[in-house]
Copies of this chain bind each other. A is one copy, B any other.
Amino acid sequence: MKIKLERKGELFIISAPSGSGKSTLIHMLLKEVENLEFSVSYTTREPRKGEVNGKDYFFVSEEEFKKMIENDEFIEYAKVFGKFYYGTAKKQVYSKIEKGKDVIMDIDVQGAYQIMQKKPIDFTSIFIIPPSLEELRNRLVSRGRDSMEEIEKRLNTAKNEIKYLKYFDYVVVNDILEDALSDLKAIIFSERRKVKRLVNIESIYKQFTEE
Q: Which residue numbers of A lie inside 8 Å of B, CB to CB? A: 1-3, 5, 127, 129, 131-135, 158-159, 162-163, 165-166, 168-173, 175, 182-183, 185-187, 189-191, 193-196, 198, 201, 204-205, 207-209, 211
Contact = CB atoms under 8 A, between A and B. Distances in A.
A193 B189 contact: no
Contact of A165 (B127, B159, B204, B209): B204
A127 to B, nearest CB: 7
Q: Which of A163, A186, A201 has the most CB of B within 10 A?
A: A186
B193 A172 contact: yes
A208 B3 contact: no
Q: Return the 9 tightest CB-CB contacts between A and B, nearest first.
A: A190-B190, A186-B189, A133-B211, A186-B186, A2-B131, A187-B190, A186-B190, A162-B208, A170-B193
A207 B132 contact: yes
Given A204-B162, A205-B163, A195 B183 contact: no
B195 A186 contact: no
14 contacts: A1-B132, A5-B171, A132-B211, A163-B205, A166-B201, A168-B195, A170-B193, A171-B198, A183-B190, A183-B193, A186-B187, A186-B189, A189-B190, A190-B191
